[in-house]
Structure 1
Amino acid sequence: MSPRLVLASRSPARLATLRAAGVEPEVRVSAVDEDEVVARYGVDDPSDVALLLARAKAEDVAAALRDDDGPGPLVVGCDSVLDLDGRAYGKPGTPEVARERWLQMRGRTGVLRTGHWLVDARDAEDGGTGVSIGELSSTLVRFADLDDDEVDAYVATGEPLQVAGSFTVDGLGGAYVEGVDGDHHAVVGIGLPTLRRLVRQVGVPWHSLWAARA
């Protein structure tokens, strides 16, 4: 039987990335308050923030599914932050913050840190290991040197307000990214090579997830 994969994220970009790779996960959104989690653990390093939030989301959803009637799942959580000068930048939330971010980012290079966390909640008879493991993906992102009108026009679309680092590479923001050095999937939100390594660590071949499509 193909493993049951649960994506602990509401991100349409992550879901689309998995579907394009032949994987059809269930989607369960965690109840994690990101700001509260970061404050509770007192982390500020971008790598630590991304991994901490990915873990919190995966473990929250895995716990919520513990009494589910279906077979135990593999639960994957992700979180992305832009590392610029060692500071973590998540979703700006408002046009004012998004504009300020882009004025700071334009013409520069940042590092998109994407935390991945996998909880193996499968039943023992299905090969479940019970482990909870993570891995960080880091990708250099080179931003175009936008003029003020371009920044204002992009912010006005609303797209950068709810995405980590205030940009996308698979949407309207794609024209404003000069290049990436690393896994471009991770910049979208979920690194496929990273996830492959994680599921292999719990004895699941990547290709076995293809058969999990609805």
Structure 2
Amino acid sequence: MPHTSDPASVHPSVHLVLGSRSPARLATLAAAGVTPTVVVSDVDEPAVLAGARERAAALGTPLEPVDAVLALAQAKAEAVTRQVEESGVSALVVGCDSMLEIDGEVVGKPADADEARARWRAMRGRAAVLHSGHWLVDAREADDGGTGATLGATSSTTVHFADVDDAEIDAYVATGEPLHVAGAFTIDGLGGPYVERIEGDHHGVVGLSLPLLRELLGELDVPWRALRDAG
């Protein structure tokens, strides 16, 4: 008998909007068969973090790194969602942000080459935690199954750095790559040789955890294949 598909396994394709200009995040999705539309937000990140710290302080707690990146991811996703809704596009929107935590201090992109060199001298031969916040907004039309739901979570991965010398640090910083990425390193680019191992999801180190995004989609009853089929 010919094979027939189970109707329950059929799901309409869903379009994804990526609220990030990161080439690494886009490449991560593309490698997994997902072709999102990229829409970049104009979020004032220092203002978002200041507001998050105020809210945490009102509760008598410090702003933890996992919550800081999540606050930024949420702000970016919501800002992009407003643009998407104004354009009349029916889609899911994901916003992301990453920060490196070392010695209890959270750092983002270095301001200049001097800061990047100092960052690497502090990291070499040691371990740090890369936090990547993910926020998903269901901005689909109701006819497309949209719910208006908004939810997020943070992926945290421990990164062990090689004990590189000053000359190698200078050479890496001179490439310019460390100035454009959270934590002043990449695992999927020129910085790869300087990462000895990780504990956790390597996608999260790149900036977008595919397993975590799949879990968030599951909360909306959207299977991963719906993004892949969207093309």
User: Which residues of 2 match residues 108-147 of structure 1 at below 5 A?
Assistant: 108-147=126-165
The CA distance in 2 between the partners of 1:189 and 1:92, in whole Å, is 16
Cα distance between partner residues in 1 of 2:79 and 2:130? 24
Aligned residue number for residue 203 of structure 1: 221
Structure 1 counterpart of 2:168, from 144, 150, 154: 150
State the match for 1:52 in structure 2. 71
- Give the paired residue count: 212
Aligned equivalents of 1:209, 1:65: Cα separation in 2: 17
Give secondary structure in 1 for the equivalent of 2:101.
strand
The CA deviation at 1:40 is 2.8
1:13 aligns with 2:32: no
Deviation of 1:48 after TM superposition, in Å, equals 1.5
Deviation at 1:49, TM superposition (A): 1.3
Post-superposition offset of 1:4: 1.3
Aligned equivalent of 1:22? 33
Q: TM-score by structure 2 length?
A: 0.89
Q: Deviations over 1:103-123 (max 9, x none)?
A: 110000001001000001111
Amino acid paired to 1:118: L
| Structure 2 partner of 1:174 | 192
Say which of 64, 71, 96 aligns to 2:83. 64
Q: Are the equivalent residues in 2 in contact too, given 1:92–1:166 (CA < 8 A)?
A: yes
Structure 2 regions of 5+ residues with no counterpart?
1-11, 57-62
Shift of 1:127: 1.2
* Residue identity in the other structure for 2:41: S
- Residue by residue over 1:148-200, the C-alpha shift from the partner in whole angstroms, topping out at 9 and shown as x without a partner, is 10111111110000100000001110000000110001101100000000011
Q: Which runs of 5+ in 1 are unaligned?
A: none
Corresponding position of 1:32: 43
TM-score by length of 1: 0.96
Calculate percent identity across the aligned residue pairs: 59
Q: RMSD of the alignment, in Å?
A: 1.1
Would the aligned equivalents of 1:45 and 1:88 in 2 still touch at CA under 8 Å? no
1:63 deviates by 1.2
Structure 2 Cα separation of the partners of residues 135 and 117 of structure 1: 7
Distance in 2 between residues matched to 1:34 and 1:156, nearest whole Å: 27
Q: Is the 8 A contact 1:80 1:90 kept in 2?
A: yes
1:83 has 2:101 as partner = yes
